[in-house]
Amino acid sequence: MRLSFLFTALIPIFFAAGCSSFSGNSGSVVGSGGLFFGTPGSSDIESGKAIFKPERFSGFEIGRTTKAEVVDRIGRPNGWATSKSGELTMQYWYVESATAMMQIIIYTELNFDPDGVLVSMKNTTWKDLGRG
């Protein structure tokens, strides 16, 4: 019940119509694009790219870090959405641990004001029992 409410509430925000673009490592994230609440691919898990490492985020400061700095440091987000007021949400997917039967997925969400400055950052953990 709670999960269906969450998706119902977030779908209009994350899948808003608009210009979708992402430009290299410059941090130019405009409109909405990518996907939210997905699962990291096997190749990203095996290469280590999708393994959750808290130190990736250790230098980010609320009120100071910009979206360009985030993208330059950790790469393209898996999903991003811009509200009508210009606020941006970017989401990255990681795996904390994985076994043959389950993986623990961490969704890291970063929110930016219309000027592209970080205003909040949080991690949400999800247990995926469908693996294997």
**Sequence ranges of the domains in the chain:** 32-128
Q: pLDDT tens for residues 7-29?
A: 334 444 443 333 344 444 444 56
pTM over 0.85? The answer is no
pLDDT of 115 higher than 50: yes
pLDDT of 63 higher than 80: yes
Cα 75 to Cα 119: distance, rounded to the nearest angstrom: 19
Could you write out the DSSP letters of every residue in 23-70?
ETTTTEEEE-EE-SS----HHHHHHTTTB--GGGGTT--TTT-BHHHH
pLDDT of 130 higher than 90: no
Cα 26 to Cα 24: distance, rounded to the nearest angstrom: 6
Could you tell me which CATH number the domain at 32-128 has? 3.30.1450
